[in-house]
């Protein structure tokens, strides 16, 4: 019998998937041979291996990638063709492979980003045709794909293209072809809030592309959009995303207030995993482990906060629905409750990294735009808009626990207090503090104008504002070079002066008003130090009479008001009945002032009750002439915060690229 032509081969240690072998044949080949039609058919009929493809492409240096331009161009053109054909499963696999390819190729640091990327993807002669073809295919698939899975993959491919090419001219192809109708059609046909995330994220990236350099068409689309059904779906999607982002912080440190029912407060389905009996709490992370975990938060899904800001800024109807939307059930959170809750967690941890600080600032921008709208602010300040909101309690000192539904304005005051208290550093994030003070002033002026009296722990707010003034006075040398410090210091003085002169219009009882004056007496020397530390409060006598700045005059008058009030009561307390002036003892609790040790003629101390009695009597001789303009504030102007918004956009772009990777 003749010998068999078959020979036994040695069994390899491990088997390599066929698709991986095809990746290596294509992207590691040294020759420029055009792969056969059979190669491409097999390539797109096999399920992609994302990890292995990433490993192969990420291993290539920018120069090596450029040297493989023949292979990369052939793959790119063929993948677009397969996606356009719409045949299952080749179209779906082509989109998956394109997403990985674009994420990896576009993330490399080329010497000349735009020209080198064009060389790798299509070549200068063909770039217009190839990229325009890709965008057209993605637009068609997002609008009318065979199923939601294919449509979603097309969106992810567009995110990979946008986030990867953000620093190049290629994104302009996505602005020339309007994807907005297709994205909104996808949203309108979605069945759950989770499906809103990706199209809304893409919309935010596109709307921010060079928006300060040219008229971005997506900004105009956001402004004109009035489909309330789709807006409501986007609002619910934003709320769901905010809840999920907040979950990450709670998973590291469960900060549920003592006495609260965990089952009732962890309403978002992702939080139910944190409920009692659903996870092992025997080994919580150590302080160092928790610190490292907090640095990595929030997760990359926070990129959706950029789109939330842009939609709020451009479209009043979106802001209205975001704030007015009700929870789907008694146990659920409303979208705005989730947004405020996440904002609370971001701001309490804002000092941990520039990234979390940028997202925290972005949410403050959104919140400021909302409170500047009278219709929305009315709801925020009214009893009808009461909601349950979980406030971050992961760092001491803690604010008093308030159970049940709350007026949303009081929640925002809590967020402001926590922001000021937990981020005091010599290298102060002046932008965050400026926005916090601005939001607080806008809420208080609305309350005062409409005579809305809120029950709130006001002494905590007075203590926090005056503590910030003390900090700014102490570290003036370090802070003066900051270009935004004038905005912070003058707005803080205006805010406190406004409370002094108009507190009787929004405070619920005289005791809260008395406590503000008491704390001003305690802070008396600090006010003088604060005024002397910053030149903005010292008018220049050499300035021509026709040139004084009216706004600057208001700030000087505001600090004058604080100083005169403090001096008035200080004189009553320490120079009446032969009493020698001595420093006022600090109060251990805001709501319970400490006794003021004053050696009088009869060698008796003034009790807290006597101090408050003297303050009340002092109102009769107090003459406050608040400067005009304290309740006036400038509306949000995006151009004034252009550099901060650009940084936030870059942060969101980086996170979006990692999400689709």
Q: Which two tokens stand for residue 83?
A: 């996606």
pLDDT of res. 512? 87
Distance, in Å, from the CA atom of 423 to the CA atom of 440, rounded to the nearest integer, reads 17
**Residue 210 zone, left/alpha/beta (φ > 0; ψ -120 to 50; rest):** left
Q: How confident is the model at residue 597 (pLDDT cuts 50, 70, 90)?
A: very low
Distance, in Å, from the CA atom of 503 to the CA atom of 512, rounded to the nearest integer, reads 9
Burial category of 558 from C-beta neighbours within 10 Å (exposed 0-12, middle 13-18, buried 19 and up): buried
Distance, in Å, from the CA atom of 566 to the CA atom of 469, rounded to the nearest integer, reads 14
Stronger pLDDT, 192 or 272, i.e. the higher one:
192
Q: How confident is the model at residue 154 (pLDDT cuts 50, 70, 90)?
A: very high
Residue 303 DSSP code: G
Stronger pLDDT, 392 or 538, i.e. the higher one:
392
Q: How confident is the model at residue 559 (pLDDT cuts 50, 70, 90)?
A: confident
Q: How many residues does the chain have?
A: 661
- Three state DSSP letters for 74-98: HHHHHHHHHHHHCCCCHHHHHHHHH
Give Rg (Cα) of the chain: 30
pLDDT of res. 557? 77
Average pLDDT, the chain: 85
pLDDT of res. 68? 92
pLDDT of res. 556? 77
pLDDT of res. 606? 61
Stronger pLDDT, 440 or 577, i.e. the higher one:
440
Mean pLDDT of 382-391: 93
pLDDT exceeds 60 at position 189:
yes
Q: Which two tokens stand for residue 109?
A: 């640091």
Give tens-digit pLDDT for 224-237. 999 999 999 999 99
- 399 contacts 417 by C-beta, under 8 angstroms: yes
DSSP state string for 407-469: -HHHHHHHHHHHHHHH---SS--HHHHHHHHHHHHHHHHHHHHTT------HHHHHHHHHHHH
Stronger pLDDT, 600 or 329, i.e. the higher one:
329
Residues 6+ apart with CB under 8 A from 204: 303, 304, 306, 307, 308, 309, 310, 311, 652
Residue 589 phi/psi, 5-degree rounding, is -130, 135
Mean pLDDT of 580-602: 36
Give tens-digit pLDDT for 162-171. 999 998 889 9
pLDDT exceeds 90 at position 370:
yes
Stronger pLDDT, 542 or 428, i.e. the higher one:
428
Segments making up each domain of the chain, as ranges: 18-177, 231-456+647-651, 496-630
Q: Which two tokens stand for residue 134?
A: 């890709």
Return the percentage of the chain with pLDDT > 70, whole number.
82
Q: Highest-confidence range of 253-267, 347-361, 556-570, 621-635, by mean pLDDT?
A: 347-361
Mean pLDDT of 282-308: 90
CB atoms within 10 A of CB 19: 20
**Residue 451 zone, left/alpha/beta (φ > 0; ψ -120 to 50; rest):** left
pLDDT exceeds 60 at position 595:
no
Stronger pLDDT, 111 or 586, i.e. the higher one:
111
Largest CA distance in the chain: 131
């Amino acid at each position: 019998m003749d010998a068999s032509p078959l020979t036994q081969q040695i069994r390899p240690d491990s088997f390599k998937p066929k698709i991986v072998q095809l990746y290596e044949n294509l992207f590691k080949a040294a020759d420029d041979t055009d792969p056969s039609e059979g190669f491409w058919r097999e390539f797109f009929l096999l399920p992609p291996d994302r990890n292995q493809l990433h490993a192969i492409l990420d291993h290539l240096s920018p120069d090596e990638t450029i040297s493989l331009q023949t292979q990369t161009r052939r793959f790119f053109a063929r993948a677009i063709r397969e996606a356009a054909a719409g045949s299952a499963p080749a179209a779906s696999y082509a989109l998956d492979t394109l997403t990985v390819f674009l994420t990896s190729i576009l993330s490399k640091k080329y010497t000349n980003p735009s020209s080198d990327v064009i060389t790798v993807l299509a070549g200068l002669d063909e770039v217009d045709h190839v990229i325009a073809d890709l965008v057209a295919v993605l637009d068609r698939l997002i609008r009318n794909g065979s199923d939601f899975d294919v449509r979603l993959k097309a969106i992810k491919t567009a995110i990979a293209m946008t986030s990867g090419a953000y620093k190049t001219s290629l994104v302009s192809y996505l602005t020339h072809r309007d994807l907005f109708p297709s994205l909104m059609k996808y949203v309108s046909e979605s069945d759950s809030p989770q499906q809103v995330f990706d199209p809304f994220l893409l919309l935010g990236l596109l709307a921010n592309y060079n928006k300060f350099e040219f008229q971005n068409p997506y900004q105009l689309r956001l402004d004109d959009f009035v489909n309330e059904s789709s807006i409501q779906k986007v609002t619910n999607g934003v709320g769901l995303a905010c809840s999920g982002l907040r979950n990450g912080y709670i998973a590291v440190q469960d900060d549920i207030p003592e006495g609260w029912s965990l089952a009732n407060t962890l309403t978002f389905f992702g939080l139910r995993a944190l409920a009692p009996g659903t996870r092992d709490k025997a080994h919580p992370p150590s302080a160092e482990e928790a610190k490292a975990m907090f640095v990595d938060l929030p997760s990359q899904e926070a990129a959706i906060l950029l789109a939330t800001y842009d939609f709020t800024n451009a479209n009043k109807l979106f802001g209205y629905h975001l704030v007015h939307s009700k929870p789907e059930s008694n146990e659920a959170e409303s979208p705005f409750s989730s947004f405020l809750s996440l904002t609370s967690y971001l701001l309490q941890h804002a000092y941990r990294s520039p990234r979390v600080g940028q997202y925290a600032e972005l949410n403050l921008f959104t919140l400021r735009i909302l409170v500047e709208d009278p219709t929305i602010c009315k709801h925020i300040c009214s009893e009808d808009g009461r909601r349950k909101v979980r406030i971050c309690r992961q760092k001491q000192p803690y604010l008093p626990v308030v159970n049940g539904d709350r007026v949303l304005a009081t929640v925002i005051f809590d967020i402001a207090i926590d922001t000021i208290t937990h981020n005091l550093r010599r290298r102060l994030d002046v932008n965050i503090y400026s926005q916090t003070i601005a939001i607080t002033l806008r809420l208080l002026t609305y309350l005062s104008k409409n005579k809305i009296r809120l029950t709130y722990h006001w002494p905590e707010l007075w203590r926090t504002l005056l503590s910030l003034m003390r900090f700014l006075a102490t570290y003036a040398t370090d802070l003066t070079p900051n270009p935004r410090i004038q905005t912070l210091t003058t707005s803080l003085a205006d805010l406190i002066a406004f409370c002094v002169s108009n507190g009787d219009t929004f405070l619920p009882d005289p005791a809260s008003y008395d406590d503000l004056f008491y704390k001003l007496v305690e802070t008396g020397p600090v006010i003088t130090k604060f005024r002397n530390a910053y030149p903005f409060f010292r008018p220049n006598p050499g300035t021509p009479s026709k040139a004084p700045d009216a706004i600057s005059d208001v700030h000087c008058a505001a600090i004058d008001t604080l100083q005169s009030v403090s001096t008035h009561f200080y004189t009553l307390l320490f120079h009446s009945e032969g009493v020698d002036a001595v420093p006022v003892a600090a109060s251990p609790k805001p709501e319970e002032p400490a006794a003021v040790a004053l050696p009088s003629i009869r060698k008796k101390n003034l009790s807290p009750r006597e101090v408050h009695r003297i303050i009340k009597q002092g109102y009769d001789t107090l003459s406050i002439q608040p400067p005009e303009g304290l309740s006036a504030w400038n509306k949000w102007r995006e151009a004034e915060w252009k550099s901060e918004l650009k940084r936030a956009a870059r942060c969101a772009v980086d996170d979006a690229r990692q999400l689709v990777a």
